[in-house]
Amino acid sequence: MPSGHRAAEARISTIDVGGQQLQVAIQPGHGKGRPLLLLNGLGANLELLQPFVDALGDGIETIRVDLPGVGGSPAPLIPCRFPGLARLIAQTLDQLGYGEVDVLGISWGGGVAQQFAHQYPDRCRRLVLVSTGTGAIMVPGRLSVLLRLASPRRYLDPSYMASIAAQLYGGRLRSHPELAARYAGEVRAGDTKGYYWQLLGAAGWTSIHWLHRLRQPTLILAGSDDRIVPPINAKLMARLIPHSTLHVFEDGHLGLLTSADELAPIVRGFLTAPADKLP
C-alpha cells in the first residue's frame, strides 16, 4: 500500500437520503473528466480505499460511500437488494449534485456497480470491475475461504483479520504480513446486522443474463491469486460484456489496495482515454 495519505483533503460528511443516513467522502479533483464513484467490498468502510485514491492522484474527483450497515452508515431495518442499492446510489448522487459519473466497484461492490450500470445506463459513463464476478452464477472460491466470509469477525477483531488475511485474500499479503496488519488497523467495523444484511442483499443475485446488454466501456481487473473470486470469472465477464478490456495482475483479492501504485495508472488511463481509443 502507498505510504502517502490525502485523507485530510477529503470532505467527509453524513447525509440523509430518503431516511437512510449515509457517510460519504468526496476527494476533489483538478481534471476535466467525470467524477469516479467507488463502491467497496462486503463490510468494508470507505477509508480502506484511501491507498487507491492516493495512488490515483488529484486529477480525478472521487466519491466514496459507506453503504447501509458499513462504516459510518447505520444498517437499514430490512436487507436492501442490489436494485434497491442502485436506486439509493442514484438518489445519493442526485442529492450531492452529480449527474453522470464513472463507477468502480470491488468484490461485493462490483456486483452493485454492475447493477447500477445496468439499471441507470445514462448515469454511468465508464465502468471498472475489480476482483468481482457475476453473483450467484459464477465459479466460486475455495470453500474454506467462503466460510470465513460468512462471519463479520474479521472486521470486529483486528488481530484475527491480520492472522487470516494472507489465507483469505492471497497475493502480496502472503509475503508482506505488514500489509495485512496495516489493512486490519484501518478497518472500522459497522453494524454487525448490517454485514448480514449485505450478505442477504446479494443472495441469489446474478448479472449473467444481462451483462451482454451493458454498453459502457468496461475495464475488468482480476488478481491471479484471488482466493475469493477466481480470475476465471473475470475472463467470463470479459466475454459477456461487449466493450470490455481485461487486465489480470499478479496479486490477490485486495490488489486494488496492495498493488495500488501499479493499478491506479491503468484505471486513470482508462478513465481519461478518448472515447475512440476504447473498445
Q: Which residues are catalytic, by number?
A: 107
Following CA atoms 89, 94, 99, 101 in sequence, which dihedral angle do they give, to the nearest 10 degrees?
-30
C-alpha cell at 50: 484511501
Distance CA 202, CA 231 (A): 20
Q: Provide the grid cell at 158.
A: 483486528
Q: Which parts of 43-182 are beta strand (E)?
A: 62-66, 101-106, 124-130
What one-letter code names the amino acid at 133?
Answer: G
Q: Give the list of residues 6+ apart from residue 92 with CB closer than 8 angstroms, or none.
A: 15, 17, 22, 24, 65
SS3 112: helix
- Tell me, what DSSP letter sits at residue 135? B
CA distances from 164 to 10, 37, 228, 270 (A): 31, 29, 13, 33
Residue type, 59: G
Residue 10 grid coordinates: 477529503
Q: Which of 11, 13, 154, 153 is nearest to 72 (CA)?
A: 13
Q: Is 1 helix (H, G, I), strand (E, B) or coil?
A: coil
Residue found by looking up cell 479533483 in the block? 29
